[in-house]
Chains A and B, each alone.
Chain A
Amino acid sequence: GQSLEQPSEVTAVEGAIVQINCTYQTSGFYGLSWYQQHDGGAPTFLSYNALDGLEETGRFSSFLSRSDSYGYLLLQELQMKDSASYFCARRRLTGGGNKLTFGTGTQLKVEL
């Protein structure tokens, strides 16, 4: 299988920390990417994990546990501009080359 599971919505307050989880099917797994998409905009790349552990990029961090088929995106010091949809995407190695399969996305609402 190729599916990924994410919560559909998460709400948090400005200044808080929020974690967006993603579980995935393990067949052909090669790595997990995270993308951000504001309403009406294009997806933009945030982070990638090929190995277990934490990757930190400013206020955003991403974690992967391959043994648990699980990853998460951690957003710290939330700002109103972080209100957006966040997608995890599984990198697969297939006969036709590397591809990404996207989850259905988590809509993050940041409130005052």
Chain B
Amino acid sequence: NAGVTQTPKFRVLKTGQSMTLLCAQDMNHEYMYWYRQDPGMGLRLIHYSVGEGTTAKGEVPDGYNVSRLKKQNFLLGLESAAPSQTSVYFCASSNSASVYEQYFGPGTRLTVT
């Protein structure tokens, strides 16, 4: 039981490049989330999904897109990276009945130069 996994762990992009962050969970959770964490700002919700085939915007969705084609996977895309997107990205998942208890992946540290 791996829980929540994320790939890659680290990535450096040049401004304007694109990439996709992958998140997978093996707990059969309905809900999945993408957060970014910047120093002194806590965790901010980018996008989330309440089930396969559904996505919704969080607090800071601009510049990101997501897809949830399979229940266990949640992908975060950056179409044209900007230095402001330098951050640590965390994926999380939860049961629909216990949103208060989210399980987090190890994070992806992204630097955009």
Contact = CB atoms under 8 A, between A and B. Distances in A.
Interface of A: 8, 31, 33, 41-45, 48, 50, 87, 89, 91, 96-105
**Looking at chain A's contact residues, is the secondary structure mostly helix, strand, loop, or mixed?**
strand
Given A99-B45, A101-B45, A43 B40 contact: no
Interface stretch (B12-20, B65-73, B76-84, B97-105): B97-105
B101 A104 contact: no
Contact of A42 (B40, B58, B105): B105
Interface residues of B, number: 25
Given A42-B106, A42-B107, A97-B31, A104 B100 contact: no
A87 B106 contact: no
Contacts of B99: 91, 97-100
A45 B44 contact: no
Contact of A99 (B41, B58, B106, B107): B58
B27 interface: no
Interface in B23-63: 31, 35, 40-45, 48, 50, 56, 58-59
Contacts of B43: 43, 87, 89, 102
